[in-house]
Amino acid sequence: MESKKINEIRLAADLQTDSIVDGPGLRAVLWTQGCGHKCKGCQNPQTHDFNGGGLVPIDMVLEAIDELEYQTGLTFSGGDPMYQPEACNIIAEYAKKKGLNIWVYTGFTYEELMELAKSKPIYLEFLKNIDVLVDGRFILEQRDLSLLFRGSKNQRLIDVQKSLESGKVTLVNETNIDTVEEKFFKHAPMYI
């Protein structure tokens, strides 16, 4: 049976630009709607409802990406983008081809996603288009404001391509952030 073509994505807001807190550089952020993790202390409870926000044609998001200027990359946040892997993958693939690096925030762990990918290959397809995955639920008791681009100590900045290649979770080297910038962010006109 032919699988249904996905042509809409449920979003909590319009595509944001110029974020400096959702990954390095100046970033566009796609706020997906829907999350089932129910983390205590979540800062975006309005994004949990799977029927909330609004359905937006994916083509419209791609057009908004075409119009981006001075953005280093595209970050998927929410909500949890991993509840809409097909739609997010279409957008990530498109943005990546345009030279944007891709960061994704998810409440699932990398290991959980790899497990899901065994029955739903779209998860692996999406991971193949992601540079950095910020994984794991937000755990209030482990909150640490000094952490780079994440809220609690259990969450990791994962170099997805290296992890897929090696078959084991490989973290972004935060102490070598210049190298990371060079690798991922060479298209950036500026760094803040």
- Angle at 37 (CA atoms; ends 60, 45), nearest 5 degrees: 65
Rounded CA-CA distance 160/1 in Å is 32
39 binds ligand SF4 (CB under 6 A): yes
For residue 103, which phi and psi values (nearest 5 degrees)? -115, 140
Kindly tell me which of 25 and 107 has the beta carbon lying closer to ligand SF4: 107
Q: Does 35 bind ligand SF4 (CB under 6 A)?
A: yes
- Tell which positions 79-118 bind ligand SF4, by CB under 6 A: 79-80, 107
Alpha-helical (H) ranges within 100-149 are: 110-119, 122-128
Near ligand SF4 by CB under 6 A: residue from 17, 19, 44, 46: 44
Segment contacting ligand SF4 (CB under 6 A): 30-38, 118-126, 142-150, 159-167?
A: 30-38
Choosing from 8, 17, 42, 114, the residue that interacts with ligand SF4 (CB under 6 A) is: 42
Tell me how far apart the alpha carbons of residues 185 and 54 are, in angstroms, rounded to a whole number: 31
Asked whether the beta carbons of 173 and 157 are under 8 A apart, the reply is no
Spatial CA neighbour of 172 closest among 72, 24, 27 = 24
Distance between CA 35 and CA 107 in Å, rounded?
A: 8
> How big is the site for ligand SF4, counted in residues (CB under 6 A)?
13
**Least distance (Å) between residue 178 CB and ligand SF4:** 29
The DSSP letter of residue 173 is -
State whether the Cα torsion 31-33-38-40 is positive or negative. Answer: positive
Instruction: Write down the least CB distance from residue 168 to ligand SF4, Å.
Output: 24
Q: Using the minimum distance from each CB to ligand SF4, give the nearer residue, 76 or 185.
A: 76
- Establish if 153 lies at the interface with ligand SF4 (CB under 6 A): no
Which residues from 118-137 bind ligand SF4, rule CB under 6 A? 137
Judged by the rule CB under 6 A, the positions of this chain that interact with ligand SF4 are: 35, 37-39, 42, 44, 47, 78-80, 107, 137-138
